[in-house]
Chain A
Amino acid sequence: MPKRKKEITISVLLLLPAVIIFAMLIIYPVCNTVWLSFFKWKGIAGQPKEFVGIANYLKVLTGNSFWNSMLNSLYFMIGGFGILMPLSFGLALIVTSNVRCRRFLKTSYFMPVILSTTAVALIWVYILNPSFGALNQFLDIVGLSNGKKDWLSTPTLNVWCVVLVNEWMYAGYNMLIFVAGLIAIPDSIFDAAKIDGCGFWYRVRYIILPLSKGSFKIFAVLCITGCLKVFDLIWAMTKGGPNNVSSTPAIMLYTEAFTYKNFGKSSTIGVILLMTGIVLSLGVNRCLRYKED
C-alpha cells in the first residue's frame, strides 16, 4: 500500500469515532426532525404518521403565535446586542485593566454563570413578585408606588424582565469571550500608543475595538443562535405565559409537542429555527468578514 494511501486510511480510521458520534447524535436527529416535519403524528410510539406535505410549514408560518414568539426572540437579540454586548465588553475592559480587586471583580461577574438557570429564575421570580417581591417593596420605600407592576404578567414588560435577567446571568460568560480577545492584543501596541499620548478612549476606539473583531464575531453568532433557541430561563420564569405572551419559538416547539401532542408541527418549528439560525450566522460571518477585507 503506498505511503500516502496508508496515511489517509489511518486518518479516516482515527476520525471515524467522531464521525459516527456526530452522525448518530447530530445528523440523524436533524434528518429525522426534517422528515417528521412533513407528517402529522400524535407522539405515540409505533403509531402511523400521516403525511401532510408542507401543511405544517404553512400552519406555522401563517399563524400569529409563531411570529409573536419570533418577536420575543427578537427582543432577546435586541437586548443581546444593545445591552449584553456593551456590558460584557465593559466588564472585560475592567477585569483586564490594572484596577484593584481584579480577581474579586472577575469572580463576582462570573458568579451568576455558575448558578443553575432554575435557581436564577427562582431568585428573580421572587424579586419580581407583585405582592411581596423585593422590587415592588423597594419602589414603595422610595416613594415610587405608582411604578409598581405585575412584572411577569404584563405583556412585553414580562419578556423584557426575562431579557434583563438573561443579560445579568450571561454577562460574565460573554465577558470571558472579550477577555480572551483583549489579552491576545500584544502589549507592545499599547506601549506604542502610550508613547504617542493616546488616552483610554483613543486606545479603545483605535486599538481595542478593531483588534477585538474576532471576539465580536463569536459573540454575534452565539447571541443570535442563543436568542433564537432561548428556552430554559423563560420557561422557568413564565413558562411562556400568561396566554403565551412571553413564548419563544423554542417554547412553542416544546408545548406543541408535549402539551398539544403535535409532534409534526413541533418538528417544523425546529427546522425553521435551525434554518434561521444557519442563515443568520452565515450572514453575520459574511458581514464581518467583508468588513475585515
Chain B
Amino acid sequence: MNRYKKVFLSLLMSTSLVFGLTACSESDTNGAADTTDSSETSDVSPYDVDNMKFDNITIKVSSKYGGTGDNDEFYKKRVEEFNEMDNGITVEMDNISTESDYLDKLATSFADGNTPNVFVEFGGSRCLDYVQADALVDMTPYLDYDQEWKDSFMSGIWDATQYEGTDGTWGIPFHLYQVCLFYNKEILEENEIEVPTTFDGLIDACAKLKADGITPFQVGESDTYRWGHLLNCLVLKSYGTDMVNNLADRSVAYDSPEMIKMYQTIKDMFDNGYLGENPLSIDASTEDSLFLDEQAAFKYDGTWFISTALNSGIYDKIGVVSFPAVNEEYASVNQGGPDMIWYVSKLNKTDEEIAASVAFVKYMACSDFAAEHVKVSPDTFPFKDYALEGEAKDCRLLEEVQTLMDQTTEYRTDIQTYDSASHMINTVRNALQGLGLGNSAEQCGKEIVDRIAEDE
C-alpha cells in the first residue's frame, strides 16, 4: 500500500509539474495572433478609431516616464485621464526612467514576443529592425483617414518614422527638439567674452575661460549621447545634411579624413580641458546641476533643457543661441527634429488591441497634448498650433528657442539614425568615448569601421 502511495504521489507530482510548466510557456510562439475582433466595427471604418466601441480592452504602454519630474508626472496624469474617459480601453503603464534599462527591456520584449502594445522610441534606424520584421503598425492609413489630425503636425517631421525601401509611416512623433548652445551671461560678461556665433569663436571663448580658471563646458559623457550630440553638431555645421546621407550609404567612410577631423576636434577640446574635468565619470544630470550651479559657462543641449533651467536659481542668467557654425554655409542647419515617437506593435496583437492602441496614440500625440504639456513644463512639440499658457506663457527661453527653431532651414537628428545598420548609434558613441581614454582620432574612426565590417 505504501509503495502504491509512493507511485501515485510520484506520478501526480510529475504530471502536475509538466502541466504547470506547459501552462507557463508561451501559448503562441510563431507570432500568429488571435485576430478575433470584438469591437463593433461593422459600420465603422477600421481606421476610424475615435468612433469605435471597445469592450474592456487593456493595452500595455511602455515609456521612460517613470520619474518624478514635471514631464513624467504630466505623462502619468494624461494617461490617467485617458483611463477615466470610459471608452472601453484601459492603459497599463510600464514606465522605466533609466533610458538604457528601458531600451533593454523593450528589446527583450521583442525577443520573447510579448511586446507592449504601444511604446516610445527615438526613431530612425533604431526601429528599422522592427519595421523589417513587420512588427510595427503602419500609421499611414490612420493619418490619411483623419486629415485634421494629420494636418495638425508640422511638415517635415516624418523623416525619423519613414525608411527607404518600405512604404509607410511607422510611428507618430510627439516631441520636437533642437540642440542649442546655452550660456551663462554673467560669466561671459565678467570675462569680457562675446556670445560666440562661429565655432572658432567658441574655441577662442573656451581658451579664454580656461585661462581665467573657468570651466568652459562640463560635459557628462558617462551618458554616451553627450559627445554623440557634439559630433552630430560638428558634422552638420561643417558639411551640412549631405554628409549624413553620405555616411549612411557609406560613400563617405567613418574613418575618412572629413570624419577624422571631427573626432580630432572633440579630442582637442577634451585634451585642452574645454569639455570639463573627468567628463567620462560625470552623467548628464550632474552636467545639468554643475551648469546650473554656475560651474561651467556653456552647455550644448536639447531644448528639453528649458524646463530644467526654468526651475533653477540662475534662469535669468541663461542665454541661448544656435550651436555655432563651423562652416558659415551651414549655419542654419541644426541637430534636431522629432525625438520622441509613439510606435504601435502588432506582434501577437489582435485587431482590436491595435485599434485601441492607435486611439491611445491619437490622444497622446496631438495639439491638445502639447497645449496641456506646456502649461506645466515649457518644451517644444511637432504640432502647428497650440496655445502657450501656464509655465510656457512669457517663458523667455522658450520664445528664444522657438525663434532659433524658426530660423533653422534643415534638421537632422542623430546622424547614425539614418544609417541602415541599427547598431551604428551605439557603435559611434562607444568609439567617441575612446577619445577620452587616449585613443587617437584615427583609432576612433578605425574602431567604428571595424565594427561595421564585423557586423556585415
Residue of B nearest to A6 (CB): B3
Check A17 against B129 for contact (C-beta < 8 Å). Answer: no
With A16-B14, A131-B278, A258-B104 known as contacts, the answer to whether A243 contacts B7 (CB < 8 A) is no
With A20-B21, A45-B347 known as contacts, the answer to whether A131 contacts B14 (CB < 8 A) is no
Task: Kindly list chain A residues whose C-beta atoms are within 8 Å of the C-beta of B277.
Answer: 130-131
- Residue of B18, B133, B281, B431 near A150 (CB, 8 A) is B281
With A10-B10, A245-B437, A262-B455 known as contacts, the answer to whether A44 contacts B280 (CB < 8 A) is no
Check A42 against B129 for contact (C-beta < 8 Å). Answer: yes
- Residue picked from B14, B108, B112, B135, most chain A C-beta under 10 Å: B14
Stretch at the interface among B188-196, B312-320, B422-430: B422-430
Check B433 against A242 for contact (C-beta < 8 Å). Answer: yes
- Judged by a CB distance under 8 angstroms, whether A129 is at the interface is yes
Check A244 against B17 for contact (C-beta < 8 Å). Answer: no
Check A243 against B281 for contact (C-beta < 8 Å). Answer: no
Q: Encode contact with B along A38-56: 1 for CB under 8 Å, 0 otherwise.
A: 0000111111000000000
Check B133 against A47 for contact (C-beta < 8 Å). Answer: yes
Contacts of B201-218 to chain A: CB distance below 8 A? none
Residue of A nearest to B290 (CB): A131
Contacts of A250-293 to chain B: CB distance below 8 A? 257-263
Task: Kindly list chain B residues whose C-beta atoms are within 8 Å of the C-beta of A257.
Answer: 107, 111
Contacts of A121-175 to chain B: CB distance below 8 A? 129-131, 150, 152-155
- Judged by a CB distance under 8 angstroms, whether A241 is at the interface is yes
CA of A129 to CA of B220 in the docked complex: distance in angstroms? 13
Check A13 against B7 for contact (C-beta < 8 Å). Answer: yes
- Residue of B108, B347, B430, B438 near A258 (CB, 8 A) is B108
- Judged by a CB distance under 8 angstroms, whether A59 is at the interface is yes
- Judged by a CB distance under 8 angstroms, whether B434 is at the interface is yes
CA of A130 to CA of B218 in the docked complex: distance in angstroms? 14
Check A244 against B430 for contact (C-beta < 8 Å). Answer: yes
Check B14 against A259 for contact (C-beta < 8 Å). Answer: no
Contacts of B251-266 to chain A: CB distance below 8 A? none
- Judged by a CB distance under 8 angstroms, whether A21 is at the interface is yes
How many B residues touch A, CB cutoff 8 Å?
50
- Judged by a CB distance under 8 angstroms, whether A197 is at the interface is no
- Judged by a CB distance under 8 angstroms, whether B439 is at the interface is yes
Q: Encode contact with B along A43-74: 1 for CB under 8 Å, 0 otherwise.
A: 11111000000000001000100000000000
Check A243 against B434 for contact (C-beta < 8 Å). Answer: yes
Check A44 against B14 for contact (C-beta < 8 Å). Answer: no
CA of A152 to CA of B436 in the docked complex: distance in angstroms? 13
- Judged by a CB distance under 8 angstroms, whether A31 is at the interface is no
- Residue of B110, B222, B348 near A43 (CB, 8 A) is B110
- Judged by a CB distance under 8 angstroms, whether B130 is at the interface is yes
Min distance, Cβ B136 to any Cβ of chain A, angstroms: 11
With A153-B437, A260-B423 known as contacts, the answer to whether A17 contacts B14 (CB < 8 A) is yes
- Residue of B14, B278, B431, B454 near A130 (CB, 8 A) is B278
- Judged by a CB distance under 8 angstroms, whether A24 is at the interface is yes
CA of A47 to CA of B110 in the docked complex: distance in angstroms? 10
CA of A245 to CA of B107 in the docked complex: distance in angstroms? 24
Min distance, Cβ A288 to any Cβ of chain B, angstroms: 37
With A42-B129, A150-B281 known as contacts, the answer to whether A17 contacts B437 (CB < 8 A) is no
Task: Kindly list chain B residues whose C-beta atoms are within 8 Å of the C-beta of A130.
Answer: 277-278, 281
CA of A140 to CA of B11 in the docked complex: distance in angstroms? 69
Task: Kindly list chain A residues whose C-beta atoms are within 8 Å of the C-beta of B426.
Answer: 259-260
- Judged by a CB distance under 8 angstroms, whether A9 is at the interface is yes
Task: Kindly list chain A residues whose C-beta atoms are within 8 Å of the C-beta of B285.
Answer: none
- Residue of A13, A20, A261 near B11 (CB, 8 A) is A13
Check B31 against A243 for contact (C-beta < 8 Å). Answer: no
- Judged by a CB distance under 8 angstroms, whether B387 is at the interface is no
Q: Encode contact with A along B104-146: 1 for CB under 8 Å, 0 otherwise.
A: 1001101111000000000000000110110100000000000
- Residue of B13, B423, B431 near A259 (CB, 8 A) is B423
CA of A154 to CA of B436 in the docked complex: distance in angstroms? 9
- Judged by a CB distance under 8 angstroms, whether A99 is at the interface is no
- Judged by a CB distance under 8 angstroms, whether A192 is at the interface is no
- Judged by a CB distance under 8 angstroms, whether B57 is at the interface is no
- Judged by a CB distance under 8 angstroms, whether B311 is at the interface is no
- Residue of A20, A24, A129, A261 near B281 (CB, 8 A) is A129
- Judged by a CB distance under 8 angstroms, whether B282 is at the interface is yes
- Residue of A45, A150, A155 near B113 (CB, 8 A) is A45
Residue of B nearest to A12 (CB): B10
CA of A24 to CA of B22 in the docked complex: distance in angstroms? 10
- Judged by a CB distance under 8 angstroms, whether B409 is at the interface is no
Check A153 against B436 for contact (C-beta < 8 Å). Answer: yes
- Judged by a CB distance under 8 angstroms, whether A14 is at the interface is yes
Task: Kindly list chain A residues whose C-beta atoms are within 8 Å of the C-beta of B423.
Answer: 259-262
Task: Kindly list chain B residues whose C-beta atoms are within 8 Å of the C-beta of A16.
Answer: 10, 13-14
Q: Encode contact with A along B12-40: 1 for CB under 8 Å, 0 otherwise.
A: 01100110010000000111000000000
CA of A77 to CA of B112 in the docked complex: distance in angstroms? 34
CA of A245 to CA of B348 in the docked complex: distance in angstroms? 39
Check A20 against B430 for contact (C-beta < 8 Å). Answer: no
Check B422 against A261 for contact (C-beta < 8 Å). Answer: yes
Min distance, Cβ B302 to any Cβ of chain A, angstroms: 22
CA of A213 to CA of B434 in the docked complex: distance in angstroms? 45
CA of A112 to CA of B310 in the docked complex: distance in angstroms? 42
Check A13 against B130 for contact (C-beta < 8 Å). Answer: no
CA of A263 to CA of B30 in the docked complex: distance in angstroms? 18
The 4 closest A-B pairs by CB, nearest first: A46-B31, A45-B113, A13-B10, A153-B280
A/B interface sample: 7 pairs, CB < 8 A:
A13-B7, A44-B130, A44-B135, A153-B281, A243-B431, A262-B423, A262-B455
- The interface of chain A, by Cβ under 8 A from chain B, is 6, 9-10, 13-14, 16-17, 20-21, 24, 42-47, 59, 63, 129-131, 150, 152-155, 239, 241-245, 257-263
Q: A16-B13, A42-B132, A153-B437 are in contact. List 15 more A-B contacts (CB 8 A).
A: A10-B7, A13-B7, A17-B13, A45-B110, A129-B281, A131-B282, A152-B281, A153-B222, A153-B278, A239-B100, A242-B434, A258-B103, A258-B107, A259-B104, A262-B423
